[in-house]
Chains A and B, each alone.
Chain A
Amino acid sequence: EVQLVQSGAEVKKSGESLKISCKGSGYRFTAYWIGWVRQMPGKGLEWMGIIYPGDSDTRYSPSFQGQVTISADKSISTAYLQWSSLKASDTAMYYCARLKSSNYPRGNWFDPWGQGTLVTVSS
């Protein structure tokens, strides 16, 4: 079974650093892009960025470029999302998801998704 298992909920203070993880299993981890998606309380889904664990090629949404760092350790099939200095506005649920692609018709979609990591930042 293809699975993504994320690290547990975090409670942090503004200014602190944080790294959350997403461990893949049941498939060749290095062969698929992994994406990170933010969902703020009561809001919709926002794409943050993607990483290809095979060579760590990483792409960020312009909205998140410079705000977070996405990385991966292919030796342990794990992707990471990290912040160097959290803000209260980073309070949200964060999901990782595997990206699948089709050339014809052209498209990409996320499947499966991790269970989510709730990050709460107090000021």
Chain B
Amino acid sequence: QSVLTQSPSASGTPGQRVSISCSGSSSNIGSNTVNWYQQLPGAAPKLLIYGNNQRPSGVPDRFSGSKSGTSASLAISGLQSEDEADYFCAAWDDSLNGPLFGGGTKLTVL
């Protein structure tokens, strides 16, 4: 199963702004909206961003998403220690007729 491409790791210090990228193709990111999931250590994934840039209720506005063409990015501003987690991008794939996930980016707060 193909995956969307993410850098395996990212890091930042408290208060900093970090960005995580996600690259796909015309059959997924190019045709459908992008979602981001946060997985804290030992926990289930949680929806962080849907529809490219929409935050579910309860998600701080420090988290923002954007999409351009076949790529997307998640930005976290005012980094906090509790943001240390794995972040996965995802998009529906029209060829697969199902969702594709990125390989995940492990964010470390130094």
- Complex: chain A residue closest to B56, CB-CB: A111
Task: Tell me, rounded to whole Å, the shortest Cβ–Cβ distance linking A68 to chain B.
Answer: 14
List of B residues within 8 angstroms of A61 by Cβ: 1, 96, 98
Residues of the A chain whose Cβ atoms lie less than 8 Å from the Cβ of B44: 95, 113-116
Chain A positions 47-62 with a Cβ under 8 Å from a chain B Cβ: 47, 49-50, 59, 61-62
Looking at chain A's contact residues, the main secondary structure is: strand
Chain A residues whose C-beta falls within 8 Å of the C-beta of B97 in the assembled complex: 59
Counting CB contacts under 8 A, is A108 at the interface? yes
A50 touches B98 (CB 8 A): yes
Q: Are B101 and A113 in contact (CB under 8 A)?
A: no
Assess whether A45 is in contact with B51, with CB atoms less than 8 Å apart. Answer: no
Query: What chain A residues lie within 8 Å of B37 (beta carbons)?
Result: 45, 110
Q: Of B46, B47, B88, which is in contact with the most chain A CB atoms at under 10 Å from its CB?
A: B47
Q: Does B92 contact A (CB under 8 A)?
A: yes
- In the complex, chain B residues whose CB is within 8 Å of the CB of A63: 1
Chain A residues with Cβ below 8 Å from B31 are 106
**B104 adjacent to A45 (CB under 8 Å):** yes
Q: Which of B47, B50, B51, B98 contacts A47 (CB 8 A)?
A: B98
What is the minimal beta-carbon distance from B57 to any residue of chain A, in angstroms?
11
Excluding A47-B99, A107-B34, 20 further A-B contacts by CB distance (< 8 Å) are A44-B101, A46-B1, A47-B100, A47-B101, A61-B96, A97-B45, A102-B51, A105-B51, A106-B33, A107-B50, A107-B92, A109-B33, A110-B37, A110-B90, A111-B47, A112-B46, A113-B44, A113-B46, A115-B44, A116-B44
Q: Which A residues have a C-beta under 8 Å from some C-beta of B?
A: 35, 37, 44-47, 49-50, 59, 61-63, 95, 97, 100, 102, 105-116
